[in-house]
Amino acid sequence: MAEFDYGEVVSALRGAGCVFAEEEAEILIESASSPAELTPLLERRIAGEPLEYIVGWVLFCGRRVTVEPGVFVPRRRTEFLVECAAALRPSVLLDLCCGSGAVGLSVGGVTELHAADIDDASVDCARRNLDAMGATVHRGDLFDALPPELHGRFDAVVVNAPYVPTSDIELMPREARDYEPHTALDGGADGAGIHRRVAAGAGQWLHSGGHLLIETSAALSDSTLDAVLEAGFTGQVRESEMFDAVVVIGSTGGS
């Protein structure tokens, strides 16, 4: 078996400013079959590339989800969106702005899953993650991606759309700013531009008694809630200290 110098890998990562150097060293070593194979992986990480792109997966809701360069890396906070959706027990679910498809993949008990994204790399990656569960991944701008026969069919629509105000993108950590596509981050001038479009369009895709769940931030939650209320939903804001996350839930009338 090849001999890896764990201590050397940890100090190289620590020297490059990696906060979780020990965990990252274990993951990188596990991904390489020899020290020679490890060297270029380590060099990419030291140069600042996100670990998830280098190894090709991220741990999300307890399972390894495939991610590829150019595709948004699912964040731990988004596990709260999954938790909120799972509590509503949807059978027919739409994961809108799906990226890798991690959210739809993780809501259990779904019998019919659709996912959609505007970005080609994300659609391809979501198909890799979701094909095995028989999901359909659509490509296009928000609800324009969907065929009309899906009108009124969804129990829930889950959305982690871009919600960083344009001027705040430059304040994000370098890994996000430099490596993730800005179409995955940029929520427009105030951050809630896509939330307004999603809320305005969601009603006709949900059946009576259905729910729209949008991940947002503490700073933006009032704007996201307003968008949901203006679109005719009843709305509530759910917050999780543990996940440092906020989700706005809009509900249609009926049961």
Q: What are phi and psi of 150, to 5 degrees?
A: -90, 0
CB of 42 to ligand SAM, least distance (A): 26
CB of 74 to ligand SAM, least distance (A): 4
Cα(133)–Cα(113) distance, rounded to whole angstroms?
8
Cα(117)–Cα(129) distance, rounded to whole angstroms?
14
CB of 205 to ligand SAM, least distance (A): 14
Smaller CB separation from ligand SAM, 29 or 94: 94
CB of 22 to ligand SAM, least distance (A): 25
Nearest to 215 by CA among 57, 126, 52, 84: 84
Smaller CB separation from ligand SAM, 102 or 246: 102
Q: In b/e form, how buried is each residue of 217-247, taking b as 16+ CB within 10 angstroms? A: beebbebbbbbbeebebebeebeeeebebbb
Report DSSP state, residue 118.
S
Smaller CB separation from ligand SAM, 32 or 196: 196
Beta strands in 16-79 (DSSP E): 57-60, 63-66
CB of 99 to ligand SAM, least distance (A): 3
Smaller CB separation from ligand SAM, 139 or 153: 139
Cα(208)–Cα(251) distance, rounded to whole angstroms?
9
Smaller CB separation from ligand SAM, 25 or 250: 250
Cα(47)–Cα(41) distance, rounded to whole angstroms?
10
Cα(234)–Cα(241) distance, rounded to whole angstroms?
24
Residues forming the site for ligand SAM (CB under 6 A): 72, 74, 78, 97-100, 102-103, 117-119, 122, 141-142, 160-162, 183-184
Q: Residue with the closest Cβ to ligand SAM?
A: 99
CB of 194 to ligand SAM, least distance (A): 6
Smaller CB separation from ligand SAM, 78 or 221: 78
